[in-house]
């Protein structure tokens, strides 16, 4: 079945986006990106550390991948805009994951500052993917401002707790016209599959893959789960009911008719 | 000369006059670095022409892994 995700002017065949944080090394990260079949990967921007190895992470990103720079480290809209401009000057293109976080314990996004950054960066020609708490009215405004997608969290970043926000994400999928991409907290392939079955257009996974014992095989498992979930959604899986519905004929058999 | 580099006060050696010389002096690989000089992004080709003044605010960033 032909199934592409058209987003930000691109046509993608993989609906699994993979983050590049926390990997034990650049070589294994590259193997993961290749094994996962991903076409979108996130990278961050940081002040240089003159004492660290001068390796350039972008040299390890396969050419088929679109790089999406995240604005992590930004505490308000202004800082997010500044980071996005720096990233573009670094030559990674115009795809930006807007991540504005003011809370250090749960790393929950600041929806209001994020919305401001969406507005500003769309005007500057960026293709923006806001990381957000799944709130319908904020998501609507982000869509109205020209966001390419909304990226609600499943659960706190790096927590591997799965889709704790499921009901709210489901409402976004139902109501929002731009793609909904669950980002953060997906700990197992089944979590990713659950998102796709619900009708998410894609998911973004980082920690669960990067810190797995075998990141490459975990990436493959996530890729399969995303495909399975998408196929299930696209094939129109049916809803659930409280009581049994026989799947075999219920005509009497091997006993007297009463 | 005192300047601020990545938020930290630093004293520059006498011979460092431009952004190009600053990057070389810090032993950084200029590939994929981005420099913001007093809040203005400076394209790589302009580094040799930007003279550093006292109290300048310089940010030097590069790409790292992130989710």
Looking at residues A3-24, what average pLDDT do you find?
95
A22 tagged catalytic: no
- DSSP 3-state helix, strand, coil percentages of chain B (rounded to 5)? 20, 40, 40
CA distance A130 to A98: 5
Confidence of residue A53 (pLDDT cuts 50, 70, 90): low
DSSP A122: H
> SS3 of B58, please?
strand
For residue A91, how many other CB atoms are within 10 A of its CB? Answer: 13
Q: What's chain B's average pLDDT?
A: 91
User: How do residues A74-114 score in pLDDT, each as one tens digit?
Assistant: 999 999 999 999 999 988 899 999 999 988 899 999 999 99
Q: What's chain A's average pLDDT?
A: 93
Task: For each of the domains in chain B, give its residue range(s) and CATH number, in order of start.
Answer: 2-61 (3.10.20.30)
The complex's ipTM? 0.90
- Identified catalytic residue from A22, A97, A164, A166: A97
B33 and chain A in contact, CB less than 8 A: yes
User: How do residues A36-50 score in pLDDT, each as one tens digit?
Assistant: 999 999 999 999 987
What is the DSSP code string of A143-184?
HHHT-S-BEEBSSSTT-----TTHHHHHHHHHH-SS-BEEES
* Closest partner CB to A57 (pick from B39, B59, B63): B63
A40 and chain B in contact, CB less than 8 A: no
Owner of token pair 């950054």: A117
A71 and chain B in contact, CB less than 8 A: no
Q: Do A89 and B43 touch (CB under 8 A)?
A: yes
| Percentage of the residues of chain A whose pLDDT score is greater than 70 | 98
* Closest partner CB to B34 (pick from A20, A58, A86): A86
Task: For each of the domains in chain A, give its residue range(s) and CATH number, in order of start.
Answer: 10-234 (3.20.20.70)
């Amino acid at each position: 079945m032909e199934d592409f995700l058209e987003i930000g002017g691109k046509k993608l065949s993989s609906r699994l986006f993979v983050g590049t944080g926390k990997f034990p090394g650049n070589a294994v990260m590259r193997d993961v990106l290749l094994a996962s079949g991903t076409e979108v990967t996130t990278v961050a921007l940081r002040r240089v550390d003159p004492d660290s190895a001068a390796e350039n992470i972008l040299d390890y990103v396969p050419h088929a991948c679109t790089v999406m720079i995240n604005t992590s480290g930004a505490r308000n809209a202004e800082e997010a805009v500044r980071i996005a401009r720096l990233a573009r000057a670094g030559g990674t293109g115009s795809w930006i994951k807007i991540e504005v976080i003011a809370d250090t314990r749960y790393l929950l996004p600041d929806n209001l500052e994020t919305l401001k950054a969406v507005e500003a960066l769309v005007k500057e020609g960026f293709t923006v993917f806001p990381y957000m708490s799944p709130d319908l009215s904020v998501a609507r405004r982000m869509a109205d401002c020209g966001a390419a997608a909304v990226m609600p969290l499943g659960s706190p970043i790096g927590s591997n707790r799965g889709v704790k926000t499921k009901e709210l994400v489901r409402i976004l999928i139902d109501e929002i016209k731009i793609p909904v991409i669950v980002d953060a907290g997906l700990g197992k392939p089944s979590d990713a599959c659950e998102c796709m079955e619900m009708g998410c257009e894609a998911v973004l996974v980082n920690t669960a893959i990067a810190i797995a014992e075998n990141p490459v095989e975990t990436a493959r498992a996530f890729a399969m789960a995303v495909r399975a979930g998408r196929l299930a959604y696209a094939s129109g899986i049916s809803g659930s009911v409280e009581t049994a519905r026989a799947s075999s004929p219920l005509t009497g058999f091997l006993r007297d008719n009463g | 000369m005192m300047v601020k580099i990545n938020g930290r006060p630093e004293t520059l050696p006498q011979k460092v006059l431009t952004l190009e010389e600053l990057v070389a002096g810090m032993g950084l690989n200029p590939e994929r670095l981005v420099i913001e000089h007093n809040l203005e992004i400076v394209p790589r080709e302009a580094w040799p022409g930007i003279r550093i003044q006292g109290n300048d605010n310089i940010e030097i960033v590069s790409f790292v892994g992130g989710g």
